[in-house]
Amino acid sequence: MPGNGLQRDELELHFQPQQRLRDAELIGFEALVRWRRGGKLVPPAEFIPIAEESGLVIAIGDWVLERACAQILELRAQTGKDFVIAVNISPRQFLHPDFLRKIERLLKETQIDPCTLELEITEGAVMEQTENAIALLHKLRALGLKLSIDDFGTGYSSLSYLKRFPIDKLKIDQSFVRQLKPHSQDSAIVEAVIGLGHTLGINVIAEGVETIDQREWLKRLSCDEIQGYYYSRPLPCENVLPFVLSQFSY
């Protein structure tokens, strides 16, 4: 991997568990990349935007997808269960002409069940080239992948487009969850997003859930799933299997 001094073997993928509220079950993980530079872990906010500019995000994204598939296979081998792993796809990666072919090749090579791989797309990526993007979403969906819209509510997506996006999940951005309290303005927004999602047959997950009070209020609002420090911080890969085993009695 050229540029920025960033090498593949300096990347690490961490996994943050996601919980279904109805039965408090672990359903899967979001894969989050880190750069181990010297002794320090550099967070993605400090290198993904630069990598997006330079194009390096394509190579990083390929690596993340490969690692995520390997993790899916390993969890199945170790537990006999399928867990969904959600991967962040940058706008440049999504709009790259080879993206669909790469995904097809990855599915063929790894033989994972396609519905265990979820792609998180931001509103920006889809709105940039709307017609192409919608066509691509349909092709990815036809492969059996899961699709979600990340950071929902922070972008500029028009609601009328939403019904044309073949997506499975809306991820409510953590800025609406951070100060979530009953009967607050944030609560009204979150409730509206959940209602919108459910009307369109789309699951809704809230990100950045840190407290039991936030979790309980989201459950009252019929939110489907949560992700955040309350349930678990992102885990280095060696802690993923122990976490899974702690959630189920085998």
Q: What angle do CA 73, 76, 80 make, to 5 degrees?
A: 160
Q: Binder to Ca ion among 123, 150, 224, 225 (CB under 5 A)?
A: 150
**Tokens at 22, concatenated:** 């109805």
Nearer to ligand C2E, 194 or 207 (CB): 207
Q: From the CB of 247, what's the least distance to ligand C2E, in Å?
A: 17
Task: Show the site string, 88-127: x = touches ligand C2E by CB under 6 A, - = not.
Answer: x-x-------------------------------------
* Run of H or E including 82: none
Distance CA 125, CA 157 (A): 10
Q: Are 69 and 101 a contacting pair, CB within 8 Å? A: no
Nearer to Ca ion, 19 or 131 (CB): 19
Could you say which of ligand C2E, Ca ion, none residue 28 binds, taking C-beta under 5 to 8 angstroms by partner kind?
Answer: none
Could you say which of Ca ion, ligand C2E, none residue 234 binds, taking C-beta under 5 to 8 angstroms by partner kind?
Answer: ligand C2E
Distance CA 130, CA 124 (A): 10
Q: Using CB under 6 A, which residues numbered 160 to 189 contact ligand C2E?
A: 174
Q: Using CB under 6 A, which residues numbered 36 to 95 contact ligand C2E?
A: 43-45, 48, 57, 61, 64, 88, 90
**Tokens at 141, concatenated:** 């969906």
Q: Binder to Ca ion among 13, 17, 117, 120 (CB under 5 A)?
A: 120
Neighbours of 85 (CB within 10 A): 26
Neighbours of 173 (CB within 10 A): 20
Q: From the CB of 114, what's the least distance to ligand C2E, in Å?
A: 19
The identity of residue 25, as a single letter, is E
The identity of residue 57, as a single letter, is V
Can you give the binding site for Ca ion, defined by CB under 5 A?
A: 88, 120, 150-151
